[in-house]
Structure 1
Amino acid sequence: MFVQNESKLIGSVAKESGIPIKTIRYYEELGLLKTMGRTEGGYRLFSADVFTRLNFIKRAQNLGMSLSEIREFLEVHDQGDLPCDQVQEKLRDKLVDIDRQIQQLQILKQELERLLVRGQVLPENSAATICPIIEQI
């Protein structure tokens, strides 16, 4: 368990979280993470809650959230509120997008199946044709 006042060097955060230093720096640049300051040598220092934020960021990304959306959630959290209403709205939007993508993929699947069936009988080789399977309308 971490002591609340315990600070972590960026290298330690990277090692313990499995997230590269470069990514942690990028998250800080985007405002997703905040440092407690720097060491005399210029290394970033983070509080132990950085792991909670990193876990939230990764989980939200795995659910299809953009870093911009995640930043909005974290800003609400940093103001002392839970961003659950905003998260639910974004999750609903993601479901609509997924349904649209599924529909587009089903259409693409049907088109590919149709091309494969038609492509079983290929015409003679022609210099004006690259592959009739793809070129047929």
Structure 2
Amino acid sequence: MVDKVREIAASAVLLSIAGYAVWPWGGGPWRQVMLRVYEPLNGDLEVAVLLLAVSAAIGFGIVMGSRIRLSDLATGGVLAYVFWMAVLFLAVSLHEPLLPIITYGLMLVGALFGGVIATVVGNRTGVDPTTKSS
């Protein structure tokens, strides 16, 4: 049970860091860098596809590179999503309140999709990232 709680907490922290790195909600230099990355894209669909692809790669990497199970990734991701949405709405004045809900929700879906792919790949190749080696 302790391992499960640790995996959920680790996935919540990892996805929180990844979410802020990919789509920073505050000001500052990192936000300016990320805005330059998204600037050449023509429209919301291309930004959404980029966010899905990057977050899927992150979810794939988390599941394949650690012992975090897909169910724990999903639980930690939902907990992180709810926590940060509450923080954003209570502590930060947003000029577009739906943008973080959609953006971070899309990123969570992408990370879980990447985790599903990692689980399928691990099952097919016989590499189970959740087994503990001694």
Normalised to the residue count of structure 2, the TM-score between the two structures is 0.25
**Structure number with higher helix proportion:** 2
Normalised to the residue count of structure 1, the TM-score between the two structures is 0.24
Rg: which structure is higher? 1
Name which structure has the greater RCO, CA cutoff 8 Å, separation 6+. Answer: 2
**Structure number with higher strand proportion:** 1
